[in-house]
Structure 1
Amino acid sequence: MSLTFFTLASATGNSQSRSFRLSAPEALVASGVLKHLLPRFSLKTQVRIELVGAGEADARFAAEGKGTPVFAGLDADWVLVTLTPGNEHVGRFEDWITSEVGRNTIESFQPGGKALFTAAVARQKDDETVVLPGNVVEGEKLAVTHCGRCHMVNEATRLTTIGSSPSFAVMRGFSDWQARFEAFFALNPHPSFTLIDGVTEPFDVSRPSPIVPLEMTLEELEAILAFVSQIPPADLGAPIQYQ
């Protein structure tokens, strides 16, 4: 039997691609810790996790073997094992569960007032800050013009965006943020309305005419990247608290 955790956006068509499959031993499932952890990750990241059998999973929790240490409990030291290398959502879950927020979430699982699991020692992170060259001021203006119709670029666009689109600050917190922004025009739904001079192909003649195109040059994209590189990543928040 599989148990599926949905994000708040799971009813949308896009949520289907923002997911991965996870397996875990029955003892870990029965402890209730996954019902505590997985919805909190999904709520903060909009990535859905499906709990499945071992043969179907993209990642698994294991009580032994090689993997990323995540917590200790139930007389075992648990690791997260990635089964589909390069899966960005598994990578994001790994980053979250080993972060300070993830560690606090693990240790806040206290059924009956007693903690059952202890978070693994925090991993050493690369503190190198990526700052891309370009006109930051111009980049912010261009981002508002071209991207502000859907994404919250800055405080001025907070109330004029599509609520289901992640903000620039949230996306800046993704481990692959630079690659995402550099190649945004190739990531859905952008190809249907984005033209970059000298990079993208002309629109197909069957493209619906009401779609207003987003047109920019590589120089403008460079300025936007410079602006994005200086946005502080969004703090996805502390574990959910209940009264």
Structure 2
Amino acid sequence: MPAKGLLLPAALALVIALPSPGEAAGDAEKGRQIAIDHCSRCHVVPDYNPYGGIESTPSFRLLARRDDYLERFLTFFERPPHPVVVRIPGVEPPTDDPAFVATFQIQPEQVDDLAAYAAKLHAEQ
């Protein structure tokens, strides 16, 4: 019985710890610059490369419209094809196979910056 009494407070603490939609811990301007420097070779970044990106790759604005945009941006490096291309210290690549394009490295806090940029885009819609 005591375990049941602890479940609700633990779940509540988890919900409180998660960022709210439209809220992210990083710096949106730094995130925009990271998007320009690294992500714009595949994605359209608003007010930077309106005719760029790869046709089959969603734009940052389109991704930011999704209900689960914040989770997607916070975990983008785990979502194909990113694990082959993005290197984050402390996160092992999923394969030893060579990448099909040049890889790049970002720091864990820069993931928060990208998420903050996505939150800014989300709030503008």
Q: Same fold (TM over 0.5)?
A: yes
* Residue 148 (str. 1) matches residue 40 (str. 2): yes
- Structure 2: any 5+ residue segments left out of the alignment? 1-19
Residue correspondences, number: 106
**Structure 2 CA distance for aligned equivalents of residues 229 and 212 of structure 1:** 27
Match in the other structure for 1:216: 106
**Counterpart Cα distance in 1 of 2:49 and 2:24:** 23
CA contact (8 A) 2:43 2:59 kept: yes
Which structure would you say has the larger Rg?
Answer: 1
Task: Give unmatched runs, 5+ long, in structure 1.
Answer: 1-127, 236-243
TM-score (norm 1): 0.40
Report deviation, 1:203: 6.5
Decide which structure has greater helix share: 2
- Which residue of 2 is the match for residue 207 of structure 1? 98
Higher RCO, 1 or 2 (CA under 8 Å, sep at least 6)?
2
Aligned pairs for 1:148-227 (under 5 A) are 148-198=40-90, 200-202=91-93, 204-208=95-99, 211-227=101-117
When normalised by structure 2's length, the TM-score is 0.73
Question: How much identity, in percent, do the aligned residues show?
Answer: 26
Contact (CA 8 Å) 1:136, 1:224: kept in 2 or not? yes
Give, in whole Å, the separation in 1 of the partners of 2:22 and 2:122.
11
Higher strand fraction (1 or 2) = 1
- Are residues 130 and 205 of structure 1, via their aligned partners in 2, closer, same or farther at CA, if it must alter by over 3 Å? closer
Tell me which residue corresponds to 1:228. 118
Contact 1:169 1:233 in 2 (8 A): no
